[in-house]
Amino acid sequence: MAPVKVFGSAVFANAARVMACLEEVGVEYEVVEVDYMAREHKGLKHLARNPFGQIPAFQDGDIMLFESRAISKYVLRKYAKSAQDDLLREGNPEEAAMVDAWTEVEAHHYFPAMAPIFYECVVYPARLGTVPDQKIVGESLEKLRKVLDVYEAHLSRTKSKYLAGNFFSFADLNHFPFTFHIMTATPHASLFDSYPHIKAWWARVMARPSLKKISTHMEIKP
Amino acid sequence: MAPVKVFGSAVFANAARVMACLEEVGVEYEVVEVDYMAREHKGLKHLARNPFGQIPAFQDGDIMLFESRAISKYVLRKYAKSAQDDLLREGNPEEAAMVDAWTEVEAHHYFPAMAPIFYECVVYPARLGTVPDQKIVGESLEKLRKVLDVYEAHLSRTKSKYLAGNFFSFADLNHFPFTFHIMTATPHASLFDSYPHIKAWWARVMARPSLKKISTHMEIKP
């Protein structure tokens, strides 16, 4: 079987999300580079893969997919072989609901607060040569801390090892790419220090072999 | 069995999303009002249901859930009784991937472009007595038209009746609450006129008995 293809390297956080899922279920994949600086993602060839001209796109035989969260679920749903790599838990409505809830929380609360920090401190300096706007970073950190208060209370109250329960799930994995950049490429690596339950959760997440492996390919260089 | 509870009425678009799913699978539900103007959604009682203090929250026996898309999937996954009300298609990875992709497109492209129009033309006038800022509305319409170009091309190319294929799915349903408000409560009801495939799709979506029923409870009054 020809390996599946991911269009866009792990330098792109949303491509890293997809690759983390492929590693979790042990599927071989080929990475096809898309030259962002040359605007290849807005070229006809890539637009045929992803009509919004974004990275990543994904191919599995005749199927071409876009939207990293949809691709990730496809990979997990199609290729999970055991209960251990069932990161969606769709067979159990209660567990799946917790996975979905914290996946949505990442998308609608966590990421929107973290994104400006990521762009100001990591992406724009590398791609545009700018220095971080500290007002934007400060306001975003403030917003993010309010979100983290909810996470800390949730993990403390439920005494769960992971966000959706005592099992690693897609909800946890979704936090990986952007949090990893914040922790390793910005001056805010101590962000979780005042949240003991979040800090312990993040250590557990980063102990996953899949995430360790992908993280070695994620450095955004100028 | 005690009926499930939705905290927040259909006036709140994200509560309407959940109710549309409950109607689709034929589950009886009780609507518990949350007084937004009295800031009841930020009170301790509601924060215990939804730690982000948002509407809706949802209760099914011992389970309390938040995030409308997660609640909706829980309802569809747990209560769908036939192939006809299987709006997620999780048994078929290829179909589910298309449902997920267009659900993500709604969340990350369609809604962000439509939201400012909704708030400027519907929510703020009703709640704050303001008049719409036409600059914001104009820029959002411009952004939305670029997204609609992708939808029109997709529906035209695939010749599908619905976004994920020739079946009504959660991807279509997700577009309902906010689009309904734009179509009925703003001066932009003709938005789809220059997109024949989108216009035909929207007519098919609005022919669903579930959506017809919920839409009679959605009017946002000053």
Is residue B221 domain-resident? no
Nearest of A7, A9, A10 to residue A211 by alpha carbon: A10
Tally of residues, chain A: 222
Neighbour-count burial of B178, counting CB atoms closer than 10 A to its CB (0-12 exposed, 13-18 middle, 19+ buried)? buried
The Cα–Cα gap between B163 and B155 comes to 7
A44 shares a domain with A18: yes
Residue finishing a domain among B24, B54, B85: B85
CB within 8 Å of A208: residues ≥ 6 apart: A24, A168, A173
**CB within 8 Å: A93 and B71:** no
**CB within 8 Å: A74 and B97:** yes
B117 shares a domain with B158: yes
How far does A124 lie from chain B, in Å, by closest CA? 21
Cross-chain CB nearest to B93 (options A52, A77, A153): A77
**CB within 8 Å: B69 and A153:** no
A97 shares a domain with A79: no
Amino acid at A58: F
Q: Chain A residues with CB inside 8 Å of B94's CB? A: 63, 74
Only one residue has tokens 């700018």, namely A130
How far does B70 lie from chain A, in Å, by closest CA? 5
Q: Would you say B185 and B147 are in contact if contact means Cβ atoms under 8 Å apart? A: no
pLDDT per position as a tens digit, B165-214: 999 999 999 999 999 999 999 999 999 999 999 999 999 999 999 999 99
**CB within 8 Å: B97 and A51:** no
Residue A221 pLDDT level (bands cut at 50, 70, 90): confident
Q: Chain B residues with CB inside 8 Å of A69's CB? A: 100, 104
Residue B222 has pLDDT above 90, yes or no: no
Q: Chain B residues with CB inside 8 Å of A63's CB? A: 94, 97
Q: Is the peptide bond before B56 cis (omega within 30 degrees of 0)?
A: yes
Domain of A143, CATH number, reads 1.20.1050.10
A141 shares a domain with A64: no
How far does B20 lie from chain A, in Å, by closest CA? 18
Amino acid at A121: C
| Other residues' Cβ atoms within 10 Å of the Cβ of residue B206 | 14
Residue A188 pLDDT level (bands cut at 50, 70, 90): very high
Q: Is the peptide bond before B187 cis (omega within 30 degrees of 0)?
A: no
Structural domain boundaries enclosing B173: 93-213
Q: Chain A residues with CB inside 8 Å of B90's CB? A: 77, 90
pLDDT per position as a tens digit, A204-216: 999 999 999 999 9
The Cα–Cα gap between B163 and B147 comes to 14
A196 shares a domain with A118: yes
Residue finishing a domain among B85, B118, B151: B85
For residue B109, what is the nearest residue in chain A, using CA coordinates? A52
Residue finishing a domain among B85, B106, B129: B85
| Other residues' Cβ atoms within 10 Å of the Cβ of residue A44 | 7
Rounded mean pLDDT, A173-183: 97
Q: Chain B residues with CB inside 8 Å of A74's CB? A: 93-94, 96-97, 100
For residue A152, what is the nearest residue in chain B, using CA coordinates? B51
| Other residues' Cβ atoms within 10 Å of the Cβ of residue B134 | 11
Q: Which residues of A touch B (CB under 8 A)?
A: 51-52, 63, 65-67, 69-71, 73-74, 77-78, 90, 93-94, 96-97, 100-101, 103-105, 107-109, 150, 153-154
- In the numeric block, which tokens belong to residue B84? 């006809």
The Cα–Cα gap between B122 and B7 comes to 22
**CB within 8 Å: A73 and B63:** no
pLDDT per position as a tens digit, A18-58: 999 999 999 999 999 999 989 999 999 999 999 999 999 99
Residue B67 DSSP code: S
Residue A1 pLDDT level (bands cut at 50, 70, 90): low
Q: Is the dihedral of CA A98, A101, A107, A110 positive or negative?
A: negative
Rounded mean pLDDT, A183-202: 96
The Cα–Cα gap between B93 and B106 comes to 20
Helix (H), strand (E) at residue A98: helix A93-105
Rounded mean pLDDT, A4-12: 96
pLDDT at B186: 94
Q: How many CB pairs under 8 A join A and B?
A: 74
A132 shares a domain with A67: no
CB within 8 Å of A89: residues ≥ 6 apart: A95, A96, A99, A164, A167, A169
**CB within 8 Å: A65 and B97:** yes
Q: Would you say B117 and B140 are in contact if contact means Cβ atoms under 8 Å apart? A: yes
Is residue B42 domain-resident? yes
Is residue B71 domain-resident? yes
How far does B214 lie from chain A, in Å, by closest CA? 23
pLDDT per position as a tens digit, B121-178: 999 999 899 999 999 999 999 999 999 999 999 999 999 999 999 999 999 999 999 9
Q: Would you say A29 and A8 are in contact if contact means Cβ atoms under 8 Å apart? A: no
Q: Chain A residues with CB inside 8 Å of B57's CB? A: none
pLDDT per position as a tens digit, A50-98: 999 999 999 999 999 999 999 999 999 999 988 888 999 999 999 999 9
pLDDT at A180: 97
* CA B207 to each of CA B171, B200, B211: distance values in angstroms, whole numbers, following the listed order: 16, 11, 7
Domain of B22, CATH number, reads 3.40.30.10
A195 three-state secondary structure: coil
A114 shares a domain with A31: no
ipTM above 0.90, yes or no: yes
Mean pLDDT value across chain B: 95
**CB within 8 Å: B67 and A104:** yes
The Cα–Cα gap between B81 and B83 comes to 7
Number of structural domains in chain A: 2
Is residue A219 domain-resident? no
B97 shares a domain with B62: no
Is residue B218 domain-resident? no
pLDDT per position as a tens digit, A142-171: 999 999 999 999 999 999 999 999 999 999
Neighbour-count burial of B95, counting CB atoms closer than 10 A to its CB (0-12 exposed, 13-18 middle, 19+ buried)? middle
